[in-house]
Amino acid sequence: MLLQPIVNFINILAKKGVKNAIISPGSRNAPLTIALVRHPDIETKSISDERSAAFIALGMAQNLKEPVAICCTSGSAAYNYAPAVAEAFFQEIPLIILTADRPKEWIHQNDGQTIYQTDIFGKHVKKSFEIGADYSHSDAVWQIERTINDAVNLANIEPCGPVHINIPLREPFYPAENEEISFNVNSRVIEIVRSERTLSKESWHQLLTQFQDYDNILIAGGQSDKNDNLASVLNKLQDEFQIVCIGDSISNMGFEAISKHDLFLKVDAENLKPDLLITYGKSFISKGLKTFLRKNKAIEHWHLQIGDHLIDTFQSVTKIIPLQPIDFFTKLYEDLDFEQFRNGEEERNESFKKEWFNLEQKANIYLERFFQNEPQNFNEFFAIKYLMDALPANCQLHLANSMSVRYANYIGVNPKKNIEVFANRGTSGIDGCVSTAVGAALSTDKLVFLLVGDVAFFYDRNGLWNRYLPKNLRIILLNNHGGGIFRMIDGPSKQPELNDYFETLQTMNAQNTALDAEVEYLKVINYSELINQSVLFLDIEGKSKILEIETNSKINTEVFKEFKTNF
């Protein structure tokens, strides 16, 4: 085979631990496709719409915590990857992006499927590589072998992220009929030996001393993977040291931390202002929390982050601590615990924590009361509450952007159920929510629920256009026939353009989409139907299922406003 260096390239990809690849059909990428499909250690799937393909890979990589490869042909195909690549970059999810290209001399020569693919993803990849089209010189072969090693290493170094390799290829693309390709070759693997960052004794001592100067300490977790060890140590810090922990649903705190802040946190609540703020994780959903912390700046704000790019979401960072949250908080707890053992129980001021938890409790009571009866008029907020209460333990919950993620953040996820929460909050786009959930469901045996509005659902319905839809996918579709969020916001709701240009009425239901995708379809238009149908919907048996909840946007807005106003 003429393209043996490409076969080696894929062989190294596999040896470096990449076990999954999503391929979009094309001719230019045929050598890559053939090597990927035939490699015994790589599982491949074919997805025609590259936009969806990349989000499916993202959903898989997010779940597997390992890089997934995507592979497409030359031309605009690569650009269809871009929305998912940007999401992966900001959400720090490893992807190996393999774009076939025509040899460079063909760019902009009016000869099909050729665009400027070099660096096509701009700053939204950790690095963009390009190999040569000719492999006759041994240095060129060395570059190919080195590049794939470099790319997978980089994707895996924290902060993880997408890495791009542009691969110009000359014809012929195909082996001869019945020609076998051989992976049994000397493919050199270059490994980066795992290392860890630690703080010097002096730095740590200084931190600890400063820490003990403060009474009012708030630990805020941004979007994070679920981590039981971290939950356990944070819980102990909160329990034993009067520290307050706060997190959105996507923070996956996993214990009884503050989570109803969207409901009770007012910008002028100075009694809740922390002296020391410690943050970790990626983005926060709650606009209320962000505004509060920006206005009520802590005296010191320590942010735990591994990457070099300075992130200052609350405009108050004073120290970047380049440690993993689990390492930092474990050491912090151990040292505080030892101090306590040595010096006896110190009297920490309890009032800060009480203020926060009194409000949390009040919010919880309000929430239970608000939802305790059936709604007078059926609406999506009540439906979501019902379903979130009914979610089985140990499932995954994907929250689509726009209203879904906000509703869910008001209601909160029961920390006792061990539910993992995901959302594309890297760019907060609606463009790949369905595909991401499909990717997740393809890479776990757990039930994967997606809470999604109609605009995000239909936008990405190509996520359901494939032969791989797994049984464990459950889509909760909130169909209010438009972008309901715009009716919720004061600005657009008062403009004459609301219907046509913000909410953008759309008339579709998901029934036909479900038929096409060959998934089970359930639809409810009132509360009792919801209760009945959700039994079937939540059942682990059967195929993928869509539960379409059709509501009226005006009623939804009234109910949600009432909810927020009456607290």
Residue 359 near residue 384 (C-beta atoms within 8 A): no
**Among 282, 398, 406, 474, which residue sits at the site for a copy of itself (rule: CB under 8 A)?**
282
Give me the residue label for tokens 């299922």: 545
Q: How far does CA 90 lie from the centroid of its chain?
A: 9
Question: Does the protein bind a copy of itself through residue 86 (CB under 8 A)?
Answer: yes
- CB within 8 Å of 136: residues ≥ 6 apart: none
**Among 14, 70, 82, 336, which residue sits at the site for a copy of itself (rule: CB under 8 A)?**
82
Q: Which stretch binds a copy of itself (CB under 8 A): 8-16, 93-101, 227-235, 308-316?
A: 308-316
Question: Does the protein bind a copy of itself through residue 194 (CB under 8 A)?
Answer: no
Residue closer to a copy of itself (CB basis): 229 or 511: 511
Question: Does the protein bind a copy of itself through residue 286 (CB under 8 A)?
Answer: no
Question: Does the protein bind a copy of itself through residue 120 (CB under 8 A)?
Answer: yes
Question: Does the protein bind a copy of itself through residue 439 (CB under 8 A)?
Answer: no
Question: Does the protein bind a copy of itself through residue 534 (CB under 8 A)?
Answer: no
**Alpha-helical runs (H) found in 192-257:** 201-213, 228-241
Closest CA to 546 of 519, 564, 565, 567: 519
Residue closer to a copy of itself (CB basis): 395 or 433: 433
Instruction: Enumerate residues 251-280 that contact a copy of itself by CB under 8 A.
Output: none
Q: Which stretch binds a copy of itself (CB under 8 A): 113-121, 154-162, 183-191, 199-207?
A: 113-121
**Among 15, 102, 124, 261, which residue sits at the site for a copy of itself (rule: CB under 8 A)?**
124
- CB within 8 Å of 122: residues ≥ 6 apart: none
**Among 40, 109, 136, 196, which residue sits at the site for a copy of itself (rule: CB under 8 A)?**
109
Here's the x/- map for a copy of itself, 459-478, by CB under 8 A: it reads as x-xx--x-x-----------
**Among 444, 504, 533, 552, which residue sits at the site for a copy of itself (rule: CB under 8 A)?**
504
Instruction: Enumerate residues 333-392 that contact a copy of itself by CB under 8 A.
Output: none
Question: Does the protein bind a copy of itself through residue 508 (CB under 8 A)?
Answer: yes
**What is the chain's length?**
567
Q: How far does CA 362 lie from the centroid of its chain?
A: 30
Q: Which stretch binds a copy of itself (CB under 8 A): 72-80, 323-331, 411-419, 522-530?
A: 72-80
Report the run of H or E that residue 12 belongs to, with start and end.
helix 4-15
List b or e across 168-186, with b for residues whose CB sees 16 or more CB atoms inside 10 angstroms. Answer: bbeeebebeeeeebebeee
**Among 18, 56, 57, 77, which residue sits at the site for a copy of itself (rule: CB under 8 A)?**
77
Residue 317 near residue 303 (C-beta atoms within 8 A): yes
Query: Tokens representing 187?
Result: 């493919």
Residue closer to a copy of itself (CB basis): 159 or 470: 159
Instruction: Enumerate residues 126-165 that contact a copy of itself by CB under 8 A.
Output: none
In a 3-state reduction of DSSP, which class is residue 377? coil
C-alpha distances (whole Å) from 274 to each of 46, 219, 288 are 51, 9, 15
- CB within 8 Å of 273: residues ≥ 6 apart: 216, 296, 298
* Shortest distance in whole angstroms from residue 284 CB to a copy of itself: 7
Query: Tokens representing 509?
Result: 């239901």
β-pair partners for 247? 221
| Percentages of the chain per state (helix, strand, coil), in multiples of 5 | 45, 15, 40
Residues in contact with a copy of itself, counted by CB under 8 A, come to a total of 88
* Shortest distance in whole angstroms from residue 483 CB to a copy of itself: 5
Distance CA 329, CA 351 (A): 23
**Among 175, 254, 412, 453, which residue sits at the site for a copy of itself (rule: CB under 8 A)?**
175
Question: Does the protein bind a copy of itself through residue 79 (CB under 8 A)?
Answer: yes
Question: Does the protein bind a copy of itself through residue 483 (CB under 8 A)?
Answer: yes
**Among 25, 132, 322, 375, which residue sits at the site for a copy of itself (rule: CB under 8 A)?**
25
Distance CA 363, CA 261 (A): 8
Question: Does the protein bind a copy of itself through residue 49 (CB under 8 A)?
Answer: yes
Instruction: Enumerate residues 395-424 that contact a copy of itself by CB under 8 A.
Output: none
Residue closer to a copy of itself (CB basis): 174 or 357: 174
* Shortest distance in whole angstroms from residue 516 CB to a copy of itself: 5
Residue 547 near residue 474 (C-beta atoms within 8 A): yes
Query: Tokens representing 244?
Result: 């307050």
